Structure 1
């Protein structure tokens, strides 16, 4: 589910007969639940809205999911090889890795 740029995922708890979910990609924890799909979707929207309102009232910037920044650790030899390959293509390492990720995702379909 997506709402205002936030992505949520949910699962059904057979024992409790309820859907439970959380917003992905944040350090802050935003959860929601509902007994029906409609209730679940509304609870997701309400939880995101509550989070944004809380941030506004406290004067803090809301966390944005998937900022586009993440740290990847490589073996030093692989790091060197990536840098060399990027240099040969006159690309930054960042652009090289972005293209590699896009190519891999494209191959997965």
Structure 2
């Protein structure tokens, strides 16, 4: 995945072959924030402008801006997997939280 990051927000970048444009969209929030440009340099500027505009608009209307991630993650998994993960974490001398953080970090950096 091609992406850009700015002020804690990440955008997915795609190429629109039909319109010959680079297009981006912020990930991890419900609000729809998109931008586009002809070049990577212009796209970076459009991305930063979109994030800044989003933050300014939220402040102006008194709405807290959405954050891509709070740092809290609740998962519903089968109890067998939960038990196996707990045993694995303890065997490595870690809490389940520490172990899961490492596993998710490794898995998310493809």
TM-score grouping bracket, smaller chain normalisation: 0.7 to 0.9
Q: CA deviation at 1:93?
A: 2.8
Distance 1:61 1:39 in 2: 28
Aligned to 2:36: 33
List alignment gaps of at least 5 residues for structure 2: none
Aligned to 1:93: 96
Q: How many matched pairs?
A: 106
Q: CA deviation at 1:35?
A: 1.8
Higher relative helix content: 1
Aligned to 2:80: 77
Give the secondary-structure state (helix, strand or coil) at the position aligned to 2:30.
coil
Distance 2:38 2:86 in 1: 51
Larger Cα Rg: Structure 1 or Structure 2? 1
TM-score by length of 2: 0.76
Specify which of 54, 57, 62 is matched with residue 65 of structure 2.
Answer: 62
Give the secondary-structure state (helix, strand or coil) at the position aligned to 2:25.
strand
TM-score by length of 1: 0.77
Distance 2:24 2:41 in 1: 13
Distance 1:13 1:88, change over 3 A: closer
Aligned to 1:10: 13
Specify which of 18, 22, 25 is matched with residue 19 of structure 1.
Answer: 22
List alignment gaps of at least 5 residues for structure 1: none
